[in-house]
Structure 1
Amino acid sequence: MKRLIPTGDPARPVEFADVAQSVPAADEALVRVEAFAPNRGETFLLEDPRPGLLPGKDVAGLVVQAAADGSGPSIGTRVVGHPPQGGWAEYVAVPTHSLAVLPDGLDAVRAAALPLAGITALRLLRTAGSVAGRRVLLTGAAGGVGHYVTELAAASGADVTAVTATAARGERLLERGATAVVRDVTEARGPFDLVLESTGGAALPHALARLAAGGTLIWFGQASRTPVTLDFFDFFAGPEGASIRHFHYAGAPYGEDLATLVRLVDRGRLHPEIGRVDDWERTSRTLVDLRERRIRGKAVLTTGAAR
């Protein structure tokens, strides 16, 4: 089968290779991939790939071999999945606890845009607790996670201020329920009960300074790739009772969260923001553009398997 593998060349991060077809474990289903969505974090890993790296964690397609242990969907079922790796291929083995069945009205392109960003958004808001009536500041809001967080938080009653440097992306976030959009975190008018911080670098101290007394900053990303310097004397002199929490989305099983995301999209309550759909022959170009922030929201590559 065909698989995209790392090259180590930042200008052309992946190339095709002919490899043996994936052999699923007893609790895995074999999925014929129709569409996959790269994540910006994967583009960073591809700059200096570790031996054996097989990128690809967000896929949608068709089950062609059911799990031997009897779990999960049957042959012929359309699914969205979040495998540990290897999704940029014609076929991928996915643990059945990381699959969700797709309804007829949800196509593979939109489904593929859901897993990592959508699961992150769901779990981030669960970590934050109830956001109804709370003032929320979200940095790095223009990415896939940011769009989902904005829409989910606003639908739950939050007053969301989103930070994005691009006016067009800001308009889209307003359409998705943001109360306000600012170009830089220093322009945000606090105080905020909750800060969801994903950029790191110089932005994090500015975001932290805008917390209300008793507020929480949840740090869930480092998109700037710049180290953070915090003056804890300033923090201790700042809002009384404020706290900083680290967040990471990982932790299988993912199937229940995927099913929640699928249900929300199918009912028109969540809208994947897809900035590019292209054939997987042009994956390298898409990865470079994603890394350089030239794509709004998610990028999705299609294999042609659905045609």
Structure 2
Amino acid sequence: MRALLPTGQAGALVVAGEAEEPVPEPGQALVKVEAFSLNRGELSRLRGAPRPGLRPGKDIAGLVVQGAADGSGPRTGQRVVAHPPHGGWAEYAAVGTDRLAVLPEGVDAVTAAALPLAGLTALRLLRTAGCLSGRSLLLTGASGGVGHYVTELAVAAGAEVTAVTATPERGARLAEFGARVVHRLADAQGPFHVVMESVGGASTAGALALLRPRGELIWFGQASREPAVLDFFRFFDGPRSAAVRHFHYEHTDASCAADLAALVRLVAEDRLHPVVGRLADWRETARALDDLGERRITGNAVLTIGA
């Protein structure tokens, strides 16, 4: 089968090639991939030294062509969204049925492919934050897929959201969702009950200073790749007794399949609107990865697999 393979070279992160078609285990379904999306975590790994034999691809949508042998999960012929641990940038992927959800009518593969990692992260971030009704939320690095999902869901839950983006263009959709958009952290009008920080470097300390006393900073990324340095005594300048929590979207007891089903249900009910900032044929993956790394894509980048 055709697949995108990591090269380990900075100038060409992936190349089209051939790989063996996966043979599903008893608790896995075989999915014919129609579309997949890119994420920054995979970009970072590709820019490093890829492990031999490890193929990227965590966010896919397509058609089940072989249901799981143990009878679990979606049946042959059902359309699904999936979040495999790897191997999704290919014509076929074997996916555990605990990482699959059936797509309702009206949710296409392109829309669904934009959901898994970014949508799961947003959903679980909001659960970590707890009830946000009537509370203020600051979101840094807000113009990616996670930021759009967090903003729309948090506003719908009654939060007052301030989103930090680099440019007005990157913040336009966030403003439509109901966020107050600023382009410098210094322009955010705190203090905030909750801060969701994903930039790193100076942004983390700056965001911490905008917390209310006993507020919480949820640290879920470091897109700048710059380490953050926090000064304990800065807590006394305002956010007394504030908490800093590290977040990883997979460190949870929640079911991946159930959360994917919740996300596609919200889309089907017109309550969640994935922002696909780049849609292209999968032969354009290398260029899309470069543009993602240079922040030239707002929302999600989705690639489709043609004939």
TM-score grouping bracket, smaller chain normalisation = over 0.9
Aligned counterparts of 1:120 and 1:173: Cα–Cα separation in 2: 17
1:144-177 deviations in Å (ceiling 9; x for gaps):
0000000000000000000001101222111012
Q: CA shift at 1:253, angstroms?
A: 3.4
Q: In the alignment, what sits opposite 2:171?
A: 170
Q: In the alignment, what sits opposite 2:13?
A: 13
C-alpha contact (below 8 Å) 1:118/1:148 kept by paired residues: yes
1:36-64 deviations in Å (ceiling 9; x for gaps):
00101211111122222210000000000
**Letter paired with 1:281:** R
Q: CA shift at 1:240, angstroms?
A: 2.2
Deviates most, 224-233 or 251-260: 251-260
Aligned counterparts of 1:51 and 1:209: Cα–Cα separation in 2: 43
1:90-139 deviations in Å (ceiling 9; x for gaps):
00001101101011201100000000000000000000000000010000
Q: In the alignment, what sits opposite 2:262?
A: 260
**Letter paired with 2:200:** G
User: Secondary structure of the equivalent of 1:245?
Assistant: strand
Aligned counterparts of 1:273 and 1:160: Cα–Cα separation in 2: 18
C-alpha contact (below 8 Å) 1:142/1:170 kept by paired residues: yes
Q: In the alignment, what sits opposite 2:196?
A: 196
C-alpha contact (below 8 Å) 1:11/1:288 kept by paired residues: no
C-alpha contact (below 8 Å) 2:209/2:237 kept by paired residues: no
C-alpha contact (below 8 Å) 2:208/2:239 kept by paired residues: no
Q: In the alignment, what sits opposite 1:47?
A: 47
Q: In the alignment, what sits opposite 1:293?
A: 295
- Matching of residue 303 in structure 1 with residue 279 in structure 2: no
User: Secondary structure of the equivalent of 1:89?
Assistant: coil
Q: CA shift at 1:184, angstroms?
A: 1.3
1:4-57 deviations in Å (ceiling 9; x for gaps):
110112221101121211011110000000000010121111112222221000
Q: How does 1:1-307 map to 2 (within 5 A)?
A: 1-48=1-48, 49-178=50-179, 180-251=180-251, 253-304=255-306
Aligned counterparts of 1:291 and 1:41: Cα–Cα separation in 2: 10
User: Secondary structure of the equivalent of 1:116?
Assistant: helix
Aligned counterparts of 1:234 and 1:160: Cα–Cα separation in 2: 24
Aligned counterparts of 1:90 and 1:18: Cα–Cα separation in 2: 10
Aligned counterparts of 2:150 and 2:213: Cα–Cα separation in 1: 23
- Identity rate of aligned residues, in percent? 64
**Letter paired with 1:289:** D
C-alpha contact (below 8 Å) 1:280/1:302 kept by paired residues: yes
**Letter paired with 1:183:** H
C-alpha contact (below 8 Å) 1:215/1:242 kept by paired residues: yes
Aligned counterparts of 1:213 and 1:92: Cα–Cα separation in 2: 48
User: Secondary structure of the equivalent of 1:46?
Assistant: helix
Q: CA shift at 1:281, angstroms?
A: 1.0
Q: Could you state the TM-score of these two structures normalised by the residue count of structure 2?
A: 0.97
Aligned counterparts of 2:201 and 2:214: Cα–Cα separation in 1: 24
C-alpha contact (below 8 Å) 1:36/1:58 kept by paired residues: yes
Aligned counterparts of 1:170 and 1:280: Cα–Cα separation in 2: 27
Q: CA shift at 1:237, angstroms?
A: 4.5
Q: Which runs of 4+ in 1 moved over 6 A?
A: none
**Letter paired with 2:81:** V
Count of equivalent residues: 304
C-alpha contact (below 8 Å) 1:10/1:288 kept by paired residues: no
User: Secondary structure of the equivalent of 1:282?
Assistant: helix
Structure 1 residue runs of 5 or longer lacking an equivalent are none
Aligned counterparts of 1:254 and 1:129: Cα–Cα separation in 2: 19
Aligned counterparts of 1:239 and 1:167: Cα–Cα separation in 2: 29
**Letter paired with 1:217:** L
User: Secondary structure of the equivalent of 2:47?
Assistant: coil
**Letter paired with 2:58:** K
Structure 2 residue runs of 5 or longer lacking an equivalent are none
User: Secondary structure of the equivalent of 1:103?
Assistant: coil
